[in-house]
Structure 1
Amino acid sequence: MSRNAGEAERIEDAVLTRAAQAGEVAALGLLLERHRAGMRAVALSILGPGPDVDDVIQDAAVTALRRVGDVRDPAAVGAWLRMIVRNTSRSLLRGSVPSLPIDDLRVPSTDAGPEGWLEHHTMRNWIWEALEELSPTLRLPLVLRHFSTGVTSYERIAGACGVPVGTVRSRLNQGRIKLAAALAATADAPHGDTARRTRASRVEARETLAAAESGRFEALLSERWSPGIALLRGNDPVGGRSVLVRGMDGDLEAGVRQRLAHAVAGRSLVLWEMDLLSPADDPDHCPPSVAWLMTLDDAGRPRRLRLLHPRPVQALESLTPM
């Protein structure tokens, strides 16, 4: 490739990247098509031929949609896309959470001004509104795969949803296709304030833990949760409010505490990820973390709860709610 041709491609990449950062899903689609061959070559070099390559490319597309605002050098977006594929491929081999190196994350500063913050939040709001257009069976695996920090592997998503791993792959593929269509359909629609919703959810999570530690967990459930709250394992109900209260009280009596680590909140789905703190005299009492995955009713109250742990279920027999 001549120097002039290479410079022209960089300029075109920069134009498309800025358009994608402004919320134009078509621009992001063009970027992905321009760099698909290079992205696939990276995935093949790490994973070898097989269905995982297509999964990684699709995952990278959704990650690019979520993170395109993080691109610091729009002209170098091709390298950024290949980095996402490289990290996702390596994470798939390790069975860990896909991530970007900290040095490659854009850290918002006061120099960005209100326009920069508005752009960043608008993109996030748009994605969440599009997710709300999907059916619950497609929305749940996508949220876990791309918005949780500890329930991202196919195996853990399968356990959370109560379906085989092959079904998770299928639903993720269908979900990504429908998400692209929903993004195009909602591009000009008003979008809710996801940042405000998530901030409120963090406050609620901390208030829930504080109520439990002060002996008011059952009262808080009565005040804020659906009267028909159901605890699920996969898709199977395993109890209601009384089981939740007994489980929480039992953990507190054993000296186990929870600390909020991460939260995301949509209009119909909320995820709280907690660090589990074992008692000092029994450091291996419980797994290191638990995720509360809540489906909300029409009034915005939790009506279904799944408690998800990073370890196999047989290691969790001491935790009554499971």
Structure 2
Amino acid sequence: MITDKQLIEGCRSGRREMLGLLVDRYKDDLYRFCRHLTLNAQDAEDLFQEVWVRVIRKLEKYDCERSFKAWLFQVTVNLHRDRYRRWKKLQHRFLGEASFQADFLNIRDSSPLTEEALLRNERNAELEQGLRALSKRYLAPLVLYYYNEFSYEEIAEMLGIPVGTVKSRLNQGKKLLQTSMQHVKEEA
């Protein structure tokens, strides 16, 4: 199996097929992470594309001693943070204090609707609604830790915060998510 380092060196030397292999290796994990960050399929696709454009531009500066996946996700977090700040400024300028409600894509499972599938779909919908209610400061650490299985140290490096803050935000995020999901259940 070709290592990330070999793929990156191939990309740096202009071999396009190596870039294709690199994208293929991380596309599912990266898209899933973008989807969790944005909670919107179209925004996730836009962010996904923007990340790869940035990665290609900055690949010469990448330090091959670091984990490529951690670096890729750090680029994603930074781009998402920049996009979110720009969006908030525009929203505030044009809408004032009014909030903006996005239409979120319902994730559907194509398997037959058994009782188990219905319960799973209901839990997924509750989880997605709970995630939507979370502040970005808690959402990113939760997604990086539980869905992408990064360590506290890797998350701290990606987000540019101390390890203790990562632990605190994970703990607080879990509590907020549980509370949010409890409210969703009570409303149903």
TM-score of the pair, normalised by structure 2: 0.42
Q: Which has the higher contact order (CA 8 A, sep 6+)?
A: 2
Q: Normalising by the residue count of structure 1, what TM-score does the alignment of the two structures yield?
A: 0.26
As a proportion of its length, which structure holds more strand? 1
For the pair shown, the structure with the greater C-alpha radius of gyration is 1
